[in-house]
Amino acid sequence: MKSLVVYSSKSGNTRKLAEAVHGYLRGDKEIATIADAPDPAGYAFVAVGFWFKAGQPGPDSQAFLARLTGEQDVYLFATHGAAAGSVHDAKNGMKKANELAVGAHVVATFSCSGEVDAKFMEVAAKKNPQPPWLVDAQAAKGHPDANDLKMVVRMLEELDLP
């Protein structure tokens, strides 16, 4: 099976998840940033990693998600400053990703907290109103951690890919 892992990462958080996914996959596989991603056509499996901006995938990720078709199985994974399971980023952001990948066959999704740069948090704290993820951002310090990396791969194990 030919697999592709693509990701967008501002701080390195999503890159860590992408590398774990790529490391788990067997067979013919590639990894690339979304900016350098090949055409997803011709791949049986595509894993797409992204970060959230304003509660949805970053702009470069949105463009890539729209290029996916039903030809491949797709695994969506993301990092965000909000708490896992939060409505703002984790749920609404992944819902938006699924909507953007409307033609794709999404087989699984995963998201986890990702450490937010302290300077970025300072800027966000001065905004009125403050972004909803800010209250959770302190708890994201150190993430993705070893358990997050284990969990992003566990989703793949449950898919039992060839």
Query: In the beta sheet, which residues pair with residue 110?
Result: 77
Radius of gyration of the chain (CA): 15
Q: Of 5-14, 24-33, 77-86, 152-161, which range is least confident?
A: 77-86
CA distance 162 to 112: 26
| Dihedral over Cα of 7, 8, 11, 14: its sign | negative
CATH of the domain at 16: 3.40.50.360
Of 42 and 151, more confident:
151
Please give the tally of structural domains in the chain. 1
Task: Judge contact between 132 and 88, C-beta under 8 A.
Answer: yes
pLDDT of residue 82: 64
Kindly report, residue by residue over 120-145, the tens digit of the pLDDT: 667 777 888 877 776 777 777 878 99
What domain range is 136 assigned to? 2-159
Please report the pLDDT score of residue 136 as a whole number.
74
pTM: 0.88
Cβ atoms of residues 18 and 37 within 8 Å: no
